[in-house]
Amino acid sequence: MGKEKALIFELSQSGRVAYSLPKSDVPEATLPSELLRETPAELPEVSELDLVRHYTELSRRNHGVDNGFYPLGSCTMKYNPKVNEDVARLEGFTNIHPYQPESTVQGALQLLYELQQDLAEITGMDEVTLQPAAGAQGEWAGLMMIRAYLEKRGETNRTKVIVPDSAHGTNPASAAVAGFQTVTVKSNEKGLVDVEELKKVLGPDVAALMLTNPNTLGLFEEEIQTIAELVHEAGGLLYYDGANANAILGIARPGDMGFDVVHLNLHKTFTTPHGGGGPGAGPVGVKKELTPFLPKPIVRRSEEGRYYLDTDLPDSIGRVKGFYGNFGILVRAYAYIRTMGPDGLRKVSEQAVFNANYMMRRLEPYFDLPFPQHCKHEFVLSGKRQKKQGVRTLDIAKRLLDFGFHPPTIYFPLIVEECLMIEPTETESKETLDQFIETMIQIAREAEENPEMVQDAPHHTIVKRLDEVTAARKPVLRWQKE
């Protein structure tokens, strides 16, 4: 494999094709010439084999879960089951149109209905919408429901959403898009929400508190009940960011913790593939008081057992996405839940948490561990010690690439200096965890004895470190024909 790979445009040769279209069996029609392009769009012209080789080579320059360990914290890079890919491609699922009569899509509606039910049970909520395309869209939809609920009660003065300083960046961004101001509340020395600080910001202007539990440090908010009571007493609602739900399946449910709204990332906890950045799915569950505000339509089942799309929701926040969400992704998540069942899902969380704690304890002697209590499905280390040796967390991440590992999430959460956030997931074997641990120990040793080795990494990837500063200063965002 060469270091540089030609762009598909650079492979183009006039006259080559990679398609086969039906011959026209109808008379030709023409549109007024002033509506037509003057020059054709410069799309590549390649043969089918050229095309296949191009993308095959691109795929070889990419690392996925199937290539190797991917302990990217808060992203839950677990195995994406193959059978789910197969069932999502059944023609009865792929070749149906969203506007077909309901009588012709009863199987699809049944699947959506059952998935709504399953996710409601798993999260302890009353109803679920499957419409949001991603976690961030779920957050926004959930906050819009909170807003509609408060407005219905005449509480339009509630304009603030509280987020902990350890929150995902999408939380404050989603709050802003839903028309709220965000207030940040500090974490305490244990890495948890500081209840005293929370009390200070709670008041009649607070709409909601957004919380990830376990939080982004991988820690369970032990005082969740107190927090829930305080927020509810102040007249606010509790929003659960489900990015970290892989720790709690069958163990604790957001609904039982006092949360009013929950989103889940099916592409994290429920094994749907990340696809290189999407498509995902971000269903939202709500408690009874909020069900009138759900996006429409909702799938329901009539007494006679017929499934239908209910659009009769006068207080609904409206639509958040086209049609019924990312259906193909929902099929995969459904298949996963059916594969695991209640005992399987519980084991998933137990083993995800078990793996994370094992790694944390084995790495503890070599890296700073800012929060020493048991973690949940992920944990954070600090590269402070290595920084003193001149090795940054970024360098450690790049050195891991030389060993075929995807690095952990780095420099997040923002409250931990030189942060490394590690989430092994339950689908990795102990041997894999051990290999990664040994590699991390070796890198810690290199930082002490031979820091250049780490600072200059990666050494074995197809390209070396890339100049991101110039990329942003002088953006080249497309290929141009010479």
Partner 1 sequence: MKFRYLPMTDKDHHQMLQTIGINSVEELFSDIPKSVRFQGRLGIPEAMDEYSLLRHMKALSGKNRSTDQLVSFLGAGIYEHYIPSVVNHIIARPEFYTAYTPYQPEISQGELQAIFEFQTMICELTGMDVANASMYDGPTALAEAASLAVSVSKKQKVVISRTVHPEARAILATHAKGLGYEVVEVSHREGVTDLAELQTIADPQTAAVIVQSPNFFGNIEDLAQIEKIAHQHKGLFVVSANPLALGLLKPPGAFGADIVVGDVQPFGIPMAFGGPSCGYFATTKKYMRRIPGRIVGQTVDEEGARGFVLTLQAREQHIRRDKATSNICSNQALMALAASVYMSALGKQGIQEVATLNINKAHFAKQRLAEVPGVEAVFDQPFFNEFVIKVNRPVREVNEKLLAQGILAGYDLGQDYPELENHLLVAVTEIRTKEEIEAFAKGLEVL
Q: Between 198 and 320, whose beta carbon lies closer to partner 1? A: 320
The correct pick among 204, 342, 372, 390 for binding partner 1 (CB under 8 A) is 342
- The footprint of partner 1 on residues 376-395 (CB under 8 A) is 376
The correct pick among 154, 365, 472, 482 for binding partner 1 (CB under 8 A) is 472
Q: How far is CA 74 from the centre of its chain?
A: 8
Q: Interface with partner 1 by CB under 8 A: which range of 29-37, 198-206, 230-238, 382-390?
A: 29-37
* Nearest-5° Cα angle at 122, 72 to 266: 40
CB atoms within 10 A of CB 67: 13
Tokens matching residue 104? 């012709």
Task: Give the whole-angstrom CA distance, residue 152 versus residue 325.
Answer: 26
Assess 44 for contact with partner 1 (CB under 8 A). Answer: yes
Assess 156 for contact with partner 1 (CB under 8 A). Answer: no
Minimum CB separation of residue 107 from partner 1 in Å reads: 3
Assess 314 for contact with partner 1 (CB under 8 A). Answer: no
Q: Between 44 and 448, whose beta carbon lies closer to partner 1? A: 44
Minimum CB separation of residue 205 from partner 1 in Å reads: 16
- b/e burial code for range 420-457 (CB count within 10 A of at least 16 → b): bbbbbbbbbeeebbebbbebbeebbebbeeeeebbbeb
Burial of 213 (0-12, 13-18, 19+ CB in 10 A): buried
The correct pick among 198, 345, 363, 444 for binding partner 1 (CB under 8 A) is 345
The correct pick among 186, 194, 232, 250 for binding partner 1 (CB under 8 A) is 250
DSSP for 358-370 reads HHHHHHTTTSB-S
Q: Between 23 and 388, whose beta carbon lies closer to partner 1? A: 23
Burial of 402 (0-12, 13-18, 19+ CB in 10 A): middle
Binding mask 408-437 for partner 1 (x = CB under 8 A): ----x-------------xxxxx-------
- DSSP secondary structure code for residue 99 in this structure: T
Minimum CB separation of residue 293 from partner 1 in Å reads: 11
Assess 172 for contact with partner 1 (CB under 8 A). Answer: yes
Cα separations in angstroms, 23 against 16, 20, 38, 46, 151: 18, 9, 25, 21, 58
Minimum CB separation of residue 463 from partner 1 in Å reads: 4
Please provide residue 336's backbone torsions phi and psi, each rounded to the nearest 5 degrees: -65, -45
Task: Give the whole-angstrom CA distance, residue 392 versus residue 377.
Answer: 25
Assess 77 for contact with partner 1 (CB under 8 A). Answer: yes
Q: Between 204 and 414, whose beta carbon lies closer to partner 1? A: 414
The correct pick among 227, 238, 337, 443 for binding partner 1 (CB under 8 A) is 337
Minimum CB separation of residue 368 from partner 1 in Å reads: 19
The correct pick among 34, 189, 304, 449 for binding partner 1 (CB under 8 A) is 34
Q: Interface with partner 1 by CB under 8 A: which range of 166-174, 198-206, 384-392, 447-455?
A: 166-174
Binding mask 211-240 for partner 1 (x = CB under 8 A): --------xx-x-xx---------------
- DSSP secondary structure code for residue 33 in this structure: G
Q: Tokens 């445009």 identify what position?
A: 9
Task: Give the whole-angstrom CA distance, residue 442 versus residue 436.
Answer: 10
Angle between helices 135-152 and 170-177 (to 10 degrees): 40
Q: Interface with partner 1 by CB under 8 A: which range of 43-51, 231-239, 385-393, 442-450?
A: 43-51
Q: Interface with partner 1 by CB under 8 A: which range of 86-94, 199-207, 231-239, 379-387?
A: 86-94
**Rg, the chain, Cα only:** 25
Minimum CB separation of residue 416 from partner 1 in Å reads: 15
Q: Between 417 and 434, whose beta carbon lies closer to partner 1? A: 434
- The footprint of partner 1 on residues 252-311 (CB under 8 A) is 252-253, 256-258, 267, 271, 273-280, 295
Please provide residue 380's backbone torsions phi and psi, each rounded to the nearest 5 degrees: -115, 140
Listed residue (442, 435, 265, 428) closest to 354, CA to CA? 428
